[in-house]
Each structure stands twice: as C-alpha cells, then as structure tokens.
Amino acid sequence: MPLILDSSPSPSPPPAIVELSPASIRRREHHESDVVIVGAGILGTSLAVTLARQNRSVILLEKSLKEPDRIVGELLQPGGVQALKKLGLRNCLEDIDAIRVKGYEVIYYGNGVEIPYPSNAVGDDDNCNGGGLEGEKQDAATNRFGGKRPEGRSFHHGRFIQQLRAAAMREENISLIESTVTGTIKDGWTGQVLGVEAETKDGRKDVYFGQLTVLADGYASRFRKEFIAHAPVSKSKFYGLELIDADLPRSMHGHVVLGEGAPVLLYQIGTRETRALVDVPDGTPSASLANGGVKGHLRNVVLPSLPKCVQSSFERALDDGKLRSMPNSWLPPSTQQVPGMILLGDAMNMRHPLTGGGMTVAFNDVVMLRDLLSPEKVPDLGDAIRVKSQMRKFHWRRKNLTSVINILAQALYSLFAANDPQLKALQLGCFRYFQQGGQCIDGPVGLLAGIIRQPFVLFYHFFAVALLAIWLVIRQSPVYRLPLTLMSTVGIFWKACVVIFPFIFSELKS
C-alpha cells in the first residue's frame, strides 16, 4: 500500500471512532480528489495547503518523503518571505536554525561593497521582514518613511521542505502519499488529463484521479517534454561544499565573489554551516581531467580568490570530499495548453540560481493561483475551459515579478561570469555602480529581493550600468587612443544589448 499521511501527526492514540469526511473517503478508497499534485516540494506542497484551505480535496504525491538533501533552494528572498506570510506558512521557517539575511556583500577582486535590502521598498502594512522567527529580535533600523528593512532567510533546504510537508499533513483535506508517478491518464477522445499512474516502492501499480492535475516535479521533470515544446538550456553547474565554522566577511549577508573565473556564492545555512556554491561553466580548461578535474579547479583557481578568512574552512571542506553538483538551467515560461493539467514550478520555468529567486517565484505563483483558482472564480476545477482561461491570466500577471527575476538572474550571471573584454568592462561597471550607493544599490537589490516588481526599473538600471562601464573605459583611455576607445565602447553597448534583449523577448512570448 502507498504510504498515506493524512492530517493526524499527533502521537496520541486516535479516538475509538474516527469520522471521515466523504472527500477523505473518496481519496482513501477510490483515489479521487479535486486536485492531484505531483511533487511535494516547494511549490507542490504550498499549493496543496493553499487549495486545501479553500476546501478543495487534494491528493499530494511524492516519490520519497525522506528529508531531501540539495545544494540549492536554501536562500529565500524577502519577497518570498512575504509570500509565505500571505499563505499562512511563515511558521515553517521556525525550528530549522534559519539564518536572517539582510542583504549581500559583493567582493570584486578583493574589494567589497555592502548591498543591504532597501529600507524604502516596503511599508509597515505589507513588509517583508522575517523578524520574530525563532526568538529573533526585530531590526530597529527604519527609514524616513517609517518602513522596516526587509529580510530574507537562509536554511538547510531539506529541513524547510519537511516543515512544509508537516503543514500539509495537518490539513484534513490533504492525503500525502509516497508513490512514484509514472505517467498521466488522458481521455482518449478529448485529450484531457484525468489523473496519473503511479508505482509504489514494492512495485505495485496504482492510479489517482482529479478534476485538475498539477505537475510540479522539479528541475528534472519527467513530464516537461510531453507538454511543452522547449527544453532547459544548461551551460554551467554549481558545485557545492558545506563549510563548517566559516568566518564570513559580513554576517547575515550573502556573498558574491568575483574574480578571474565564474562567480562564487557564500551564505550561512545554519549556526555553524555555510554553503559555498562555485559556478563552473562547461568546458572550463582549469576543470579538465588533465588539471585535476573540478577539485583541481576549486583548489588551484577558486581557493586563492576567496577572502582570506574563508580559505581555511573552504579547504577543509574540499579535503572532506563531499562535493555535489547541480546544473544551472534556463527555461522560459510557457502558457498552459493541455486541458485538465497545469505544469508549474521548475518543471515549467527556471533561471540561473545565482540570485536565489526560485523559491520567491514559486511562493508568489501560489499566492496568485490562490486567487485565480479560488472557488468563487472557478467553482468546478473540472471546467477545463475556465481553468485554461485563468491560467492564461496567470501567465501574464506573474510577469511583473517573474520576468524581473528571470531576466535579472540571466543578465547578472552573464556579467558576473564575464569571459570576454566587453563583458569584463560591464562587470567592472556593475561593481562601480554598486559603489555609488543610494538608488544604485536600492534599485537592483530591490529587484533581486522580489520587492520591486517593475520590469522597466530593471531595464533602467541595466543600461545605467552599461553607460557607466562605457564612461569608465573612455576616462581610462589616453587621448591618442580615443578613436579606438570609442569603437570599443560601441562593442560594449552592443554586448549589453546582446545580453539582455534575448531574455526580454523570451518573456514576451506566450
């Protein structure tokens, strides 16, 4: 039998007679529900809880209910904390040794600049501050508008997932079942998805039916190619180490280290643990087998570029040999065309994890779906025409936030992993722009944090960086080289356009 974990996590003995609702009986005996959700991860679990609280009957399927062990999905931006609060799930950040995140420190060839989350981006009534968790004190810093500085949270991914799953188990309208989904069930005449086929660990086959099927099975989705035309593009991998008792340059901040190679991320995920993520583009010569492979690259190229205070803990973690990797993928969003089914989360839309925006996108998607698929707007989730209409609205409404995070992640990675003179000039321009302070950091980090949701603000700051980069090249050039310098500045501006416009156009497609 599948492992069915319903809403009774209490260790106390159940009463002699348990009254089951008709919907619960349908789920248990007939495997029928309003919604079948595949994947009990970030999006799938939070969506299940949200729909259950709207009195929808939900079957939530997950191939393994063990605590996941991943090297990404560990930093939740303030915009994600805010969405979690709206969903009534912010308590899931408690009791997991989560670390407050107040902003970033960008280190460019040894020189650092602090980029705090902006104090003037949110107000008191709708703030993103995560204070009050695990006995933490609220940050007293306020701006002239009286707003509190927003905060993010970083943590062990698996611990957070288990908290979300525990919240799902407390909902009487959810049956959480451990089973591997192997395929979808379709109406042979209309093509409408009616449910899914699954297989238990002991090899027993089963089926689950729902008026609506949600596929949220993550970055390695087995269903993606069946329902959307384009595949993810991956040009690099993140290699992750867990540092113990690392001495970071600035506490409660994520760190981005820039140098000759691709960027390195450093951020605490627990009281003693710090995650190091090293981006290694495909075909990196220093990571070839002849040069000692990826470990040789980390030891010979990355280690010397890190802040001195981090090097010893990084080297210890490297010696321990616990090195894991994840592909960094780009997958633009697409509209939902198949009746009876919607594809969500990383199965439908991915961006480079450099900016830590994935979970923020997922939770905000759930907030939007809570409204668009509410019983008031869609009384019957089996009404495929109405659901399809609402999902088209979803596709375009989410772009105020998701297009910003998607484009910013890809564009920023292009600059931070600069591998030609034009991109190097833009990278320097970006760092000098941050050094200006004020709106030169409040705007970009507000976009990254999921607080500022205006694509034009991203466009403005990106080309302000490009113009500053051009000015720096002109200012550093001798007068006699001015004609050649002006020609090179045209190349820098053109490179900026080549970096950002393809991602803008991909967001404009349906």
Position 59 scores a pLDDT of: 97
Positive or negative: CA dihedral 194, 199, 200, 205: positive
End-to-end CA distance of the chain: 42
Instruction: Return the DSSP state at 298.
Output: I
The SS3 of residue 158 is helix
Positive or negative: CA dihedral 151, 156, 159, 161: positive
Position 509 scores a pLDDT of: 79
Mean pLDDT for the stretch of residues 103-132: 74
Q: At residue 324, does pLDDT exceed 60?
A: yes
Nearest Cα to 136, choosing from 164, 94, 76? 94
Which helix (H) or strand (E) segment is 474 a member of?
helix 455-476
Position 60 scores a pLDDT of: 98
Angle between helices 42-52 and 358-372 (to 10 degrees): 20
Nearest Cα to 198, choosing from 184, 217, 182, 176? 182
The Cα–Cα gap between 477 and 394 comes to 49
Please provide residue 33's backbone torsions phi and psi, each rounded to the nearest 5 degrees: -155, 175
Q: What is the DSSP string of 12-65?
A: SPPPSS----HHHHIIIII-EEEEEEE--SHHHHHHHHHHHTTT--EEEEES--
- C-alpha distances in Å from residue 113, one per residue of 7, 77, 105, 110, 121: 48, 19, 6, 10, 20
Nearest Cα to 345, choosing from 76, 33, 39? 39
**66-91 residues labelled b (16+ CB within 10 A) or e (exposed):** eebebbbbbbbbbbbbbbbbbbebbe
Mean pLDDT for the stretch of residues 130-140: 42
Structure tokens at 225: 């190619």
Asked if residues 64 and 200 have their Cβ atoms less than 8 Å apart, the reply is no
The Cα–Cα gap between 444 and 449 comes to 9
Position 19 scores a pLDDT of: 67
Mean pLDDT for the stretch of residues 411-424: 94
Position 131 scores a pLDDT of: 43
Amino acid at 175: S
Q: At residue 144, does pLDDT exceed 70?
A: no
Asked if residues 232 and 334 have their Cβ atoms less than 8 Å apart, the reply is no
Please provide residue 186's backbone torsions phi and psi, each rounded to the nearest 5 degrees: -120, 150
Tens of pLDDT, residues 211-251 = 999 999 999 999 999 998 889 999 999 999 999 999 999 99
Work out the pLDDT band at 6, boundaries 50, 70, 90: very low
Asked if residues 178 and 62 have their Cβ atoms less than 8 Å apart, the reply is yes
| pLDDT-above-70 percentage for the chain | 91
Q: At residue 138, does pLDDT exceed 50?
A: no
Mean pLDDT for the stretch of residues 206-210: 96
Which helix (H) or strand (E) segment is 343 a member of?
strand 341-343
Mean pLDDT for the chain overall: 90
- C-alpha distances in Å from residue 369, one per residue of 58, 77, 344, 449, 482: 15, 20, 11, 21, 55
